[in-house]
Amino acid sequence: MRAAIDTNILAYAEGVNASGRKDQALYLIRRLAFGAAVLPVQVLAELFNVLVRKAGRPPSIARAAVLAWQDAFPLIDTTGTVLLGALDLSIDHGLNIWDAIVLAAAAEGDCRLLLSEDLQEGFTWRGVTVANPFSSPRHPVLDGLLEGGR
């Protein structure tokens, strides 16, 4: 079983936004078993933007952070198939195109979960369920995935 990680989780891990979430995000990421998590390429592009525009980091430092995350997890490319799925999600379910690309990439990458605080928890599309890793109680599938990371 695999999960895709959304931008907000990585942004928290980088210390951006809610300061109390950094430790939670890092704990979550460390608990995921090797190979159990993947990153849509869109997430890394969004992370670069957050680090430069919101956190005020120099682009070279933001690039280094993005490359480190790229090295830590397998990537899911934004293919034509991902784009078509994202367009359907945007039209049929009202998602903005950027969130739709992340969810469509997760589906294309055979993920069971998309770990995100930004999308509607429990929303399921093509077998991928959105789970907020910071909610209590945690999604039971996420609990199962984290059990494998011990």
The CATH number of whichever domain residue 30 belongs to comes to 3.40.50.1010
Handedness of CA 126, 3, 44, 19 (dihedral sign): positive
Convert the pLDDT of each residue in 22-74 to its tens digit: 999 999 999 887 778 999 999 999 999 999 999 999 999 999 999 999 999 99
User: Residue 150: what pLDDT?
Assistant: 46
User: Residue 64: what pLDDT?
Assistant: 98
Residue 40 pairs in a beta bridge with 76
Residue 39 pairs in a beta bridge with 75
* 146: three-class secondary structure by DSSP: helix
Q: Residue 146 — pLDDT band, cuts 50, 70, 90?
A: confident
Convert the pLDDT of each residue in 108-121 to its tens digit: 999 999 999 989 99
Contact 37, 109 (CB under 8 A): no
Contact 77, 41 (CB under 8 A): yes
Q: Range of 121's domain?
A: 3-147
Sheet with 37-40: list strands edge to edge.
Answer: 75-76, 37-40, 3-5, 113-115, 128-131, 124-125
Number of domains in the chain: 1
